[in-house]
Amino acid sequence: MSTIDFDELRSRFHLPQGKVYLDGNSLGALPRYTEERLRELISKEWADELVSGWNTKEWIDLPLSVGDQIASIIGATSGTVVCCDSLSINLFKALTACLEVNEGRGLITLEDGQFPTDSYIADGLSQLLGADRCRTQAVDIAALTPDTLAESAVLLLSHVDYKSGALRDMGAITATAQSAGCLVIWDLAHSAGAIDMDLEASQVDFAVGCTYKFLNGGPGAPGFLYVAERHQEVQNPLPGWMGHARLFDFEAKYEAAPGIKRFLTGTQSVLALSAVSASLSVFEGLTMQDVRARSLALTGHFITRWEQSSVLQSHAALVTPIDDAQRGSQVSLALESAFPVSQALIADGVIVDFREPNIVRFGFSPLYNTFSDADQAIASLEAVLTSERYRLPQFQIRSTVT
């Protein structure tokens, strides 16, 4: 049984008053310690230490030290994760690395309906290198067999699907791919910080992720890159000075640093990385098994409430798997008028989001969401649907970000 006091854990976050926040799978809430730490960083360190801070405050090590903090959350060993750039940029590095490791194969296999940036980056690489060196194919992940991957250099897929919230079996799919001589890159954007996983035990080759969702690193916080130790000799296609073996020797010739450090490129934002570092400290002392159990309990509770509601049964189809082993940390409902319904919920103080074409996502962040949040969301959704107030004109207007 979990020994975590979830009420106490919740109190460590600043949560918006009078709102039910179910969008931590899009942007995580602000840990109170992060607010405090950033104040210190800005008003003491940047202000007074200035350039000395790179040494005295170990800013220069942040991409690696934050990487190590992330490693402990995703079941990776120290020295295999670097926190830098964006998920998209890190994916570019991982994909070229796979083409190098798996020389002779030029095919990238990804999933039909993958989160867009993943397929855009893969297609962009194909366009840059030319089809003779790199092509992409999109497949139905449910029908994946070793045969499908016989020519693939790498299989790229999301650990948790951003629309349905379906969780994939990391160990089994990795083994299937590798049995066909294919490497794997897991996109952990929707799982890191909410799902227990073990990249080492699953023998994952590469992984990428972001820190602004369940890791609570702040809006647009940096991405991360995991490279299994056995692949750390590959080239970084974006070899900036921060990945050099001796960066302040300013040598004309690039010599890659040993280990994960070579995957760094340019100078990273100390503000952004310090926010991530502070936010990750909230995970200290927790086990990811306990965090995962809480997540399943919350989403399970929400699903039970959906099952018990005749209004919801008739209006909203469950898209997320009911089976615990296949469920991430969000529940997705397919609805007619999903966009205006999401806007009416937000107006009610239940913060959710909409995904094309007809999905409303209810994200549960195990560190701060509660069973009462689930109950309030269900009640609000019932009220929005029965009152039909989602038909009001103001709920039809699309902003840039949905």
Which residues in the 221-250 window bind a copy of itself by CB under 8 A? 221-223, 235-242, 244, 247-250
* Residue list 141-160, contact with a copy of itself (CB under 8 A): none
Could you say whether residue 399 binds a copy of itself (CB under 8 A)?
Answer: yes
Residue 228 CB, nearest approach to a copy of itself (Å): 21
Assess contact for 211 and 224: CB atoms under 8 A: yes
250 or 284, CB closer to a copy of itself? 250
The binder of a copy of itself chosen from 268, 295, 299, 343 (CB under 8 A): 268
Nearer to a copy of itself, 126 or 176 (CB): 126
201 three-state secondary structure: coil
User: How many C-beta atoms surround the C-beta of residue 247 within 10 A?
Assistant: 16
From 213, 294, 305, 327, the catalytic residue: 213
Instruction: Let me know if 21 is a catalytic residue.
Output: no
Nearer to a copy of itself, 250 or 285 (CB): 250
User: Which of 71, 81, 87, 141 touches a copy of itself by CB under 8 A?
Assistant: 87
Which two structure tokens, joined as six digits, stand for 304? 């039970």
Q: What secondary structure does DSSP assign to 331-347, as a single string?
A: EEEEETTHHHHHHHHHH
What DSSP string describes 70-101?
HHHHHT--TTSEEE-S-HHHHHHHHHHHHHHH
Closer to a copy of itself by CB, 193 or 292: give it. Answer: 193
How near is the Cβ of 359 to a copy of itself at its closest, in Å? 10
Buried b (16+ CB within 10 A) or exposed e, 55-91: eebebbebbbebbbbbbebbbbeebbbbbbbbbbbbb
Determine whether 92 is an active site residue.
no
Amino acid present at 320:
T
In the complex with a copy of itself, which residue's Cβ is closer, 147 or 356? 356
Distance between CA atoms of residues 222 and 238, nearest Å: 16
Minimum distance from residue 194 beta carbon to a copy of itself (Å): 16
| Contact residues for 369 (Cβ-Cβ < 8 A; gap 6+) | 21, 22, 24, 298
Give least dist CB 327 to a copy of itself, A.
Answer: 21
Cα(96)–Cα(329) distance, rounded to whole angstroms?
31
Q: Is 115 a catalytic residue?
A: yes
Among positions 317-356, residues that touch a copy of itself (CB under 8 A) are 346, 351, 353, 355-356
Q: Of 11, 287, 372, 402, which lies in the binding site for a copy of itself, with binding defined by CB under 8 A?
A: 402
**Please, what is the Cα angle at 21 between 19 and 25, to 5 degrees?**
165
Amino acid at 272: A
Out of 261, 294, 361, 364, the active site residue is: 361
214 catalytically annotated: no
Q: Which stretch binds a copy of itself (CB under 8 A): 14-22, 143-151, 304-312, 317-325?
A: 14-22
CB of 242 to a copy of itself, least distance (A): 8
**Based on the number of CB atoms within 10 Å of its own CB, is 36 exposed (0-12), middle (13-18) or buried (19 or more)?**
exposed
Nearest CA to 231 out of 116, 79, 125 is that of 79
CB-nearer residue toward a copy of itself: 36 or 307:
36
Annotated active-site residue 10? The verdict is no
Which residues have a catalytic role annotated?
115, 187, 212-213, 361
